[in-house]
Amino acid sequence: MATHKGFTLWFTGLSGAGKSTLARMIEDRLRGLGCRVELLDGDVVRTHLSKGLGFSKEDRDENIRRIGFVCQILSRNGVIAIGAAISPYRAIRDEVRGRIENFVEVYMECPLEVLVERDVKGLYKKALAGEIKQFTGVSDPYEAPLDPEVRINSSAEAPEKSLERIWETLLRLGLISPDGAAPGPAGG
């Protein structure tokens, strides 16, 4: 049985980089150890919490603020909040980080060529052809984190290896303790 502090694990990266996959893997591991955890996936949030928002910079920022607000509430109440959203702008991610005491950023990087190959819906090809406007990483910017707690290149590393690196970071920061002992001091 694991013990844990409330914290937010924030996955950022381009569409198709593996945010949701890895977020679900860590969620499953934490739940399996009896942790209180909630996953806020960007696609799901867009249909419920952020319904009606478009893809302008202002709307994207508002979407991330909303996800961040929910993560903040969960974290301060002892829940592990996992946010998995493109969150393309560094300033808004830093704003959210500034409001959450224990914030761990995971940057999922992946070359555009690989993302295009992985894209079963063909959205990247449409965006590259100019058929989709405001597509992050193609016609809209993505500002990579400067100093994330974990940096993962999903084109070069198996998800299981990435999961272990995230797990080791959470242990090192004292946010989880898989042996049931009280976690140590948390990093931020």
Cα torsion through 22, 24, 26, 32, rounded to 10: -150
104 close to 10: Cβ distance less than 8 angstroms? yes
Residues paired with 107 in a beta bridge: 12, 151
Contacts 24+ apart (CB under 8 A), 121-125: 123/15, 124/15, 124/16
Catalytic residue IDs? 87
Q: Report the C-alpha gap between 86 and 57 in whole angstroms.
A: 13
For the chain, helix, strand, coil in percent to 5 are 40, 20, 40
6, two tokens: 């409330």
Query: Which helix (H) or strand (E) covers residue 125, if one does?
Result: helix 123-128
